[in-house]
Amino acid sequence: MEIIIKKDYHRMCGEAVKLIHQSWQKKKDLVLGLATGKTPLGVYEGLIRLYREREMDFSEISAFSLDEYLGIPDEHPQSFAFYMQQNFFQHVNFKNENIFRLDGLPDDIEAHCYEYEEKIRMTGGIDIQILGIGRNGHIGFNEPSSSLSSRTRVKTLTQETIAANTPFFLDKKQIPRYCLTMGIGTIMESRMILLLASGQEKSHAIRQSIEGPITATIPASILQLHVQAKIIVDEEAAGQLERKSYYRWVYEHKDNVDDFLADKKTK
């Protein structure tokens, strides 16, 4: 796990964009796992900007959505399929056959989740998974107490989540009570994970995830075991970290290892 602290939201997103761009330069058929919500919007805006400036091409990239509400169609303005289309896919040159979504209206939930896992495997696995984090430490819709080895599956939304969603649905009968989500085990198989957090309201969850014990009570804490998990936060989200100065020191000096060793060999 690497902790990267940036001054503000703009710089935080810029760091994630840089890492994705660097990975694409090495592997043009990159496989991305994509999250929704307010936090990753700046990342998608940065990637769109790279495409418009002809510095990045998405024609060979594949994309997998992290989660989806169960019971609403793709075209519903509150679906995550709609979110990704409006905020990212329609602005770059993804091929339709390279975009994979969880279906909010599957004929068979269990079969659909199994097939989604198979599609991820058939593409060679996810290279970079983008994540946000909930105030309670959840990643995807893997709420506290979720199995740390879970796979893509249906989850029941918490009462808090249902209440928070209520203002976005004119028809109260359409408010989702269930969702489909990649499991924690699925997420952990990604080669690189970029977890983004911004704002003071995320600082407690970030501290627990990074400096607390690994526990299903804080699902994001499992990322401590991932060899390429990068936790990218702004100053406010890093506000409760006890070892903040050390994380900054490590980040500032990580590229100097080769020079340090070369210098020692010449002496």
CA 143, chain centre distance (Å): 15
**pTM for the full model?**
0.94
- Compute the radius of gyration of the chain from its Cα atoms: 19
Token pair in block for residue 221: 């804490």
Show the tokens assigned to 164.
């928070």
Q: What is the CATH number of domain 2-265?
A: 3.40.50.1360
Q: Catalytic residues, which ones?
A: 67, 136, 138, 143
How many whole angstroms separate alpha carbon 241 and alpha carbon 231? 12
Domain boundaries, given as residue ranges, for the chain: 2-265
The span from the first CA to the last CA of the chain, in angstroms, equals: 33
Tens digits of pLDDT across the chain (267 residues) = 999 999 999 999 999 999 999 999 999 999 999 999 999 999 999 999 999 999 999 999 999 999 999 999 999 999 999 999 999 999 999 999 999 999 999 999 999 999 999 999 999 999 999 999 999 999 999 999 999 999 999 999 888 778 877 888 877 778 899 999 999 999 999 999 999 999 999 999 999 999 999 999 999 999 999 999 999 999 999 999 999 999 999 998 887 766 766 677 776
